[in-house]
Every structure is written in structure tokens, then in C-alpha cells.
Structure 1
Amino acid sequence: MFFKLAMRNSRRSRKENGLFFASLVVSIVAFYIILALSHQDVMIFLRSLESDAVNSLLQIAAVFYVFSLVMLFFLIYYASKYQLERRRHELGMYIMMGMRRSKLFALLIAEDLGSSVVALLIGLPIAILMSEVVSLLTARLVGLGVIGHHVSFSLQAVILTTVGFVAIKLAAFLILSGKLARKQIGDLLVDTPETEKKQLPAPVYGVSAVLGLVALVIAYCQGIGGYSWISVKYMAVTITLGFVGMFLLFFGLRLFVDALARRANGSKPLAVFGFRQIHENVVTKSGTLAISSILILGALCCCGAGVGICISRQN
């Protein structure tokens, strides 16, 4: 009965959130293609001609894989959080009917594992096929020929794709399901408004904003100045500074928004209401705003890199 309920809920979740499930399949395909590059005969042939350039490309691919895992973790976390919030009443009914919290926690994990297995069973065959198609097209472009091409199945890429995908998906869902399983029945069955978070002293927010701004300036200076491209270590430092700086900046911005809201107390009622809404969203959702900004920045960087590569190839 337990496994039937878990599989039924997992199947229903995939149907109701088809776009999210499709994005997971696409991420699996992308992970395998990135990780299987070094095992393709085309890359082995090019490495014999231009070893430095190919090795640099493979290092960038490894960094891109780790960066994609981080971005996918936040995508899974917030998408799963929205899905679980929609099911609060259902989960509360399970507890009210006698289901233990440990069993409810196991139910949520089983549902997530079921969706992960289905995504892997769909995504891995597509990834292997697409990897061979890309390898064939690249072989024709470099003049290797179809006859000299060999099928390059990478077991290592399959293992790394499976482990990375399941690890981040399980980590995100463990955090969310653990929080939800600890809630009281009344909190699950009744929609309670969000309470305002506890305010820290004003200097804490000011220092946070200043440190965040400094970290972002250093990260941008390293990236624009070219220091981040010297090695993977420098790139990791730049990305870390960017992440930390974005979170600290948005966390400290609530001080300035609060100051603007106080100044607007004597203004028009509509202005006061607008500032209060901004203040509430920044105070309670600063982490969400920081993650959204990082995702938008990452998308713009990838788009800019693609445009630059196209222009350089045309010239």
C-alpha cells in the first residue's frame, strides 16, 4: 500500500508539473553530453593535434558541469518547495488519519526517488543518442569521416550524471520534506499568513550590504580584468565571491528599503503601501531574490559567451 501510494503520487506530480519534469530530463541530457566529451573519438583525434586547446576545453566543461549542478539545485529546491506548499492540506490529512511523521517523510522521499528514476530512464538513452549524433556531425566537420568513427559509450559519464543528479535532487528534497514533516497538523491544514522575520540590529544589515558590495566589485573586477581565466582555482574564487556577495547584498538591502519606507510615512497612501510591499518582499524573500538574480546573470553570461563565440568564428 505504501509503495502504491508513493508511485501514484509520483506519477500525478509528473503529470501536473510536466514542464519541470521536462527540464530535469534536459539537464540529464546536457550533463551526459558534457561529461562524455573526453571519451569521443573526435575529441581524442583533436587532442592529438591541439592538446592544449582541447585540455582547456575539457577543464571548462568540468567547471560548467559543477556550475550547472549548483544552478539545478536551486531550480529543484524552489520548484519542489512550490509543489509541496500546494500539497500541504493533503499531507496534513495523512497525519490526521494516523500516518507517522517518519512514514510521511519516507513517503515524500520515495515519491522523489520515483520521479528521479523515471527522469534518468528517459534522459540517459536520449543523451547517449544525442551524444553520438553530435560526435558524428563533429567528425564530418573536422574531416575524420564516418568510417573512422566509433561508438563512444561512456560508463563514467553515466555514473557521474546519475550520482550528480540524484545527489542534488535528494539534497533539495531532504531539506524541504524535513521542514514539512516537522510542522504541526494545524499549520498544514490551515493557511496561515507568513509572519515577519525577526529583525536584527541595523548595523548588521549595513555591514552585510557593504561586504556584499565589496565582494561583488572584486568578483566583477577579476572577471572583467581576465584574472578569473588564468586557472580553475581563480575562476572558483570569482564565482564564490559573486555568490556570497549577492546574498549579503540582498540581505543588507532591507535596511535601506526600511529607511525609504519610514520616509514615505508622510507621503501619499499609495506610496506608503508600495514601499511596505517592497519591504515585506525584501525582508522575507531576500534569498529568493538573490537566487533569481544569480540565475538571470548566469543566463546572460551564457548568452554573451555564445554570441562572442559566434562572432569570433565568423571573423
Structure 2
Amino acid sequence: MYTKLAKRNMERSLRDYTIYFLTLVFGVCIFYTFNSISSQKIMMKLNEYQLHIFQKIDELMGIVSIFISCILGFLIIYANSYLIKRRKKEFGIYLTLGMESREISNILLIETILIGIFSLGIGLFLGVFLSQGMSIFTAKLFHVKLESFKFTFSSGAFIKTIVYFTVMYIVVFLFNTISITKLELIDLLTDGRKNEKIKVKSLKTSMIIFIISIILIAGAYYIILSNNLRIIFADITIIIPITLVVIGTFLFFFSLSGFLLRLVQNSKRIYLKELNMFLLRQINSRINTTFMSMSFVSLMIFMSICLLAGGFSISKTLNKNIDDLPQYDVTLLYDGKLPINEFLNKNINLNYYAEDYVTYYDYYNKNEDEYLGIKTYIGKEEGEKNKSNVDVAKDRLITIMKLSDFNSIMKFYKKEGITLNKGEYAAFGDIKELLPSIQKAMDKKTKIKVGGQELIPSKKPVMEVTMEGIPAKGNACTFIVRDELAEELVPGLGFLDLNFKGDKAKKEKEFLKEVHTLSESKKNEITLICNTNEQLRASVFGMAGMVSYLVLYMGLIFLIISAAILSLQQLSQSADNIERYKFLKKMGVDDEMLNKTILTQTAIYFMLPLFLALIHSIVGLKVAKVVVNYLGTVNVTGQFLITALIFIIIYGGYFWTTYIGARKMVK
């Protein structure tokens, strides 16, 4: 009998709460897909560095999955509390007929098992097929070709998904059992006829709280924007604006129910039109009792927008940087006094390894009064335009390079060198958005002081040149001066770029081994950091991959959870108000007006948290833009459009499905 009842109840709940079951299926599907990434490498030809990156990504997904499972567990428990509330009258009838609480718990246990099997089965089935498509995305992300398409199945991800969700369902069953034992028969039978108690706040109190919330949110924005967004870079003061935004968001929704209804009541033309009186009281009541969850939903939507739009932009920037990186086999960074090539030739036979190589140094002025920062050089007006760039914000020191070193590098890259007349300087950098500002400073004949001599800019325009083999483009500006001035400068870091000859793979291993041995033996005298082109490319692809998977995984989960919570709340309210809708129909309200009211109510309920989240995102995406600019410069319009499309499909889909479900309930 219990099994028959449980099966009937599940079928009925599946019809009424399709969104709940679909959300569980999506959760299982996404969970499996992102935990099966490591199995996709069998279709790709990867080197040892890329294999290592795959392992790191798999480890990261495992850690993130623990957090995601907690979030999904919260959603399942939260959703079940609404389902239990929806079925109070049903449970009351069971108790009236002589059934004990223990027997109701047994029915719920069977229902939980059936729901678990159903959602796990469908979710895993979809996840296995979705993970096949992820392999194409992964191959494109790592710029590798699929050797041959093979159907892959990750037993590790399969087992992990079953274990995690089984634990969640056990927790749900325990929660349901505790909820049932606390219910009183009289409450179960009369719950549908009870009016929800609304805590009335005075209009004055609500307005004061609302103003405080706006001040807190605006203050958080001001702290971030007025500090040129510098606080996001390893600065603990970032906690202050985050705290202000969170508190401000909660106070915003807490105060909203106190004056939203009063505000509309002042306009009798709007308030008394059609069913607006009923509609506004419904919305006001719902916000009053769910302001906590609406605040969390708004913050999760905000994080989802920033994760998807900002993360995709960062990933695209990192991948774009690969095309602009210098094409050499290995670069070696050197911190020491002797010329780097002389030092290495004393310990390593460079001619054995190198087809050709080039060395160069960064230089600095000896006197502090001759130091020049990038912000100072481009001027106050241009500095304000580029304040989101961390180098400009910190007025980072501009380095100097010898003309002969620069021309040697250009020759190494098979490009033309430059000439400088006496008393002239040239400039180059690799941050594209800063180049126009540097050119304006040069056009104004801005003088610089090097080695005690004043120099004017040459007629050569500022050049876009990438020299350092690092994932992020970090050279805002470097000045080029004639060699004789370098005698008065202080050498900084030294660099060696080298192309191997012969068997490059063999030479690379031998060279790395020799450099490592030399670095260990001379670690108290010098610092040597060596990176090969393959290591660098794998590192960039790895960073891009981690960012892409992380933001897509967390962004989708946050978005789905946010939409599911709003949907379940709205469906629950519709179920609770069936008697009220029946009364309206008895009064002569037609179906068209009822449907319009349900649509408007659902739209307002979905738009309120989204509206505040979008306001937060304006500042959040400015922060993301700083990170993107720090790594490089690309057109990120496409990433914003992709994010918007994802939101329209998922958030809009939940909204429309909720409206259809609520409308069917009322019918």
C-alpha cells in the first residue's frame, strides 16, 4: 500500500512540480559532466605539460564539486520544505484515517527513493551524452585536435555523482521525517484556509531602512570605483565593499514590502485597476515573508552574471595572448651582475643547444628624481581614462632598454630595427589600450630624463611589441635609448631567448636539466627561472581551461538554483491561494484577467531580484574588466552576448514554465 501511495504521490507531484524534478535532473547532469573532464583526454594528443594541466583541472573540479553539492543539497532541502507545505492537508487526512507519523515517514522514504532513482537515472543519461560534446569544447580550449572521436564514460564521475546525490537524498529524508513529526493535526487540516500573517512595518521605518540600504550599496560602489579598483588585487579591504553590498541587499528587500504597497496605494487609478489590489497584496505578502531568500537569490544571480561574463572574457584573453607571444623555444630570466650569456657560457655550452639566441636587460635610472611612472608620463587626463589599468593606477615605473638590445630582439624576431638620433628616445609596450595614451604624450614632445640628460621623443610612433613570455601582458611601457646612456643606468633583470637546433625535444630536456643543476649550485649567488614555449602554452591553456570550467560550472549552478527557488516559491504561493482564485472566479473574474494577473505577478517576482543583481553587475563587471585588462586586451562583446543568451534561455525558461504551471494550478 505504501509503495502504491508513494508512486501515486510522485506522479502527481511530478505533474505539479515539474520544475523541481527538472532542476534535480539538470543538477545531476551538470555534476557528472564537469567531473568527467579528465576522461576526455584519451581523444586528444597531449604532451606531458598538457596532461599535467588536465590532472590539475580534474583536482579543481573535485574540490569545487564539494561546494556545489552543498549548494544543491540546500536547494533540494529548501524545495522539499515547499512540497511538504503543499501537502499538509493530504497528511492531515492520512492521520485522520488512523495512519501514524511513522507510516507517513515510510511513504516519504519510498517517494525519496523513487525520486532519487528517477532524477539520477535521467540526469546521468543526459550527462554522459553532454560530456561527449564537452570534449569538442575542451579540444578547442587547449588548441589541440581530436585524434578520433570515441564514446567516453567516466566511471569515477559516475560513482561520485551517485554517492553525492545519495547522501543528499538521505539528508532530505531525515529532514522530511523531522518535519512530519512536528506537525499538528489541526494545523494540517486548516492550513489552506489560514491567512498569512504580515508583519506590518511603519512607512517611516521602511523608508529609513530603504535609504540606509541605498547608502550602503552606493558606498560599496564608491569604495571600489574611487580607489581605481586597485583593492581587488590581494587587498583585504575588498571585504569592506562586499560586506556593505550584502547587508545593503538584505535591507533593500526587507524594507521593500513596507512601502511598496503604500506607494502604489497613493495612486488610486493604478491600485483600483482590474485585479491590481489583489496582485499587489500578494506580492507584498510574498516579499515580506521571503525577503531573506530573495536577497540570496539576487546575490547568486549577481555572482552568476559576473562569473559567466567576466570568466569567459578572461579565458578568451588568455587564449588570445598565445597568438601574440614571442615565438621562441625557451626563455630564461636572470637576476645577477654578469652578462647572462657570458655567465651561461662559462657553465653551459649555449652553442651546443642554440640555433640562435638573444640577450637583453631592463635598466633603471640611478637617481630617484629621474624615476618616471606610466601615469605621470601620460598625464592626468589620460591617466584618469585608463585608471582601471593596474599599472596606471599604481603609476608603475617605466623601464629602459638599450637601442642595441632592442634591435637584436627585432632581428631575432625577424623584424626591422629602429634608429635614434642623439637626444631622442622611442617607446614600446604590449598593452594595446595604453598605446594611444603613450602616443599622445610623445606627440606633445614630453621630455624624459635618463642618466642626467633630457631626451625628446623620436618621430618613430610607439610600437606594440611583446617580449616577455608570460601569460599576462604586463609591459605598460618601455623607453628605448642610445647605448651610451646605459652606462649611467642600473641593470635590472636579464633575459635570454633561445631557439634549439637539431632534435628540439631532446635538447630541451638536456637544457632544462643543466639549468636546474646550475640554479641549485648557484642559488646563493643568482636566480634563474626557465620556461619553455611548450610549458608556457600549456600554462596559458591550463589557466584558460580552469577559468572556463570553473565559471561555467558555478555560474550555471547558481543561475539554475536562483531560478528554481523563485519558481518553487511562486508555484507554492499559487497552490496556497487556490481558494482565493476560486473566490475571484465566483465574483465574476474571467480567465483572461486571471491569467494576466498570474503573468504579472510571476514577472514582478522574477524581475525584482534580477533588477538589483543587474545593478550590482555593472560594478562587478568593471572589476572583471580590470582583470581582463591586466591580462591583455580583447573585444569581449561576444562573451557578454553569450552570457545574455544563457540567461534568456535558463532564467527566461524557468519564468515561463512557472507561469504555465501556476496557470494550470489555478485552472
TM-score, length-scaled by structure 1: 0.68
1:51–1:217 CA distance, 2 compared to 1 (3 A): farther
- Of Structure 1 and Structure 2, the greater strand share is in 2
Aligned to 2:301: 296
Residues 1:45 and 2:46 are matched in the alignment: yes
Residues 1:146 and 2:148 are matched in the alignment: yes
Contact 1:6/1:107 (CA < 8 Å) preserved in 2? Answer: yes
- Of Structure 1 and Structure 2, the greater helix share is in 1
Aligned to 1:165: 165
Residues 1:308 and 2:308 are matched in the alignment: no
CA deviation after TM superposition for structure 1 residue 249, in Å: 6.3
1:242–1:71 CA distance, 2 compared to 1 (3 A): farther
CA deviation after TM superposition for structure 1 residue 253, in Å: 6.8
Please point out which of 272, 286, 297 is paired with 2:291.
286
Contact 1:47/1:55 (CA < 8 Å) preserved in 2? Answer: no
CA deviation after TM superposition for structure 1 residue 265, in Å: 10
1:123–1:268 CA distance, 2 compared to 1 (3 A): closer
Residues 1:92 and 2:92 are matched in the alignment: yes
Alpha-carbon deviations, 1:104-163, whole Å to 9, x = none?
A: 12322321221111211222233233324433664586124018x6845232x2232223
**1:113-262 aligned within 5 A:** 113-135=113-135, 138-139=138-139, 142-146=144-148, 151=152, 153-155=154-156, 157-172=157-172, 174-176=174-176, 178-190=178-190, 191-196=192-197, 250=253, 257=259
CA deviation after TM superposition for structure 1 residue 32, in Å: 0.8
Aligned length: 308
Alpha-carbon deviations, 1:19-58, whole Å to 9, x = none?
A: 4322321211110111122343258936623846973685
CA deviation after TM superposition for structure 1 residue 179, in Å: 2.7
CA deviation after TM superposition for structure 1 residue 77, in Å: 4.0
Q: Percent identity?
A: 26
CA deviation after TM superposition for structure 1 residue 171, in Å: 3.4
CA deviation after TM superposition for structure 1 residue 6, in Å: 1.9
Give the letter aligned to residue 12 of structure 2. Answer: R
Partner secondary structure for residue 301 of structure 2 = helix
Give the letter aligned to residue 91 of structure 1. Answer: F
Aligned to 2:29: 29
Contact 2:14/2:21 (CA < 8 Å) preserved in 1? Answer: yes
Larger radius of gyration: 2
Aligned to 1:65: 65
1:275–1:25 CA distance, 2 compared to 1 (3 A): closer
1:128–1:299 CA distance, 2 compared to 1 (3 A): same
1:86–1:47 CA distance, 2 compared to 1 (3 A): farther
**Larger deviation, residues 244-253 vs 174-183:** 244-253
Give the letter aligned to residue 285 of structure 1. Answer: T
Contact 2:101/2:180 (CA < 8 Å) preserved in 1? Answer: no
CA deviation after TM superposition for structure 1 residue 86, in Å: 3.1
Runs of 5+ unmatched residues, structure 2: 272-276, 321-633, 636-667
Contact 1:26/1:123 (CA < 8 Å) preserved in 2? Answer: yes
**Larger deviation, residues 246-255 vs 2-11:** 246-255
Aligned to 2:650: none
CA deviation after TM superposition for structure 1 residue 99, in Å: 0.8
Aligned equivalents of 2:125 and 2:282: distance in 1?
47
Contact 2:45/2:147 (CA < 8 Å) preserved in 1? Answer: no
Aligned equivalents of 1:286 and 1:93: distance in 2?
32
Aligned equivalents of 1:52 and 1:83: distance in 2?
44
Alpha-carbon deviations, 1:172-224, whole Å to 9, x = none?
A: 56435533442222222222434537799xx9xx99x979x9799779979x9
Aligned equivalents of 1:9 and 1:51: distance in 2?
49
Aligned to 2:102: 102
Alpha-carbon deviations, 1:233-270, whole Å to 9, x = none?
A: xx99x999987875576457778x59x96x99999798
CA deviation after TM superposition for structure 1 residue 7, in Å: 2.8
Contact 1:31/1:161 (CA < 8 Å) preserved in 2? Answer: yes
Q: CA RMSD for the aligned pairs? A: 5.1
1:168–1:294 CA distance, 2 compared to 1 (3 A): farther
Aligned equivalents of 2:57 and 2:230: distance in 1?
15
TM-score, length-scaled by structure 2: 0.36
Aligned to 1:83: 83
Contact 1:40/1:135 (CA < 8 Å) preserved in 2? Answer: yes
Aligned equivalents of 1:226 and 1:151: distance in 2?
45
Contact 2:264/2:270 (CA < 8 Å) preserved in 1? Answer: no
Give the letter aligned to residue 48 of structure 1. Answer: Y
Contact 2:38/2:54 (CA < 8 Å) preserved in 1? Answer: no
Contact 1:6/1:108 (CA < 8 Å) preserved in 2? Answer: yes
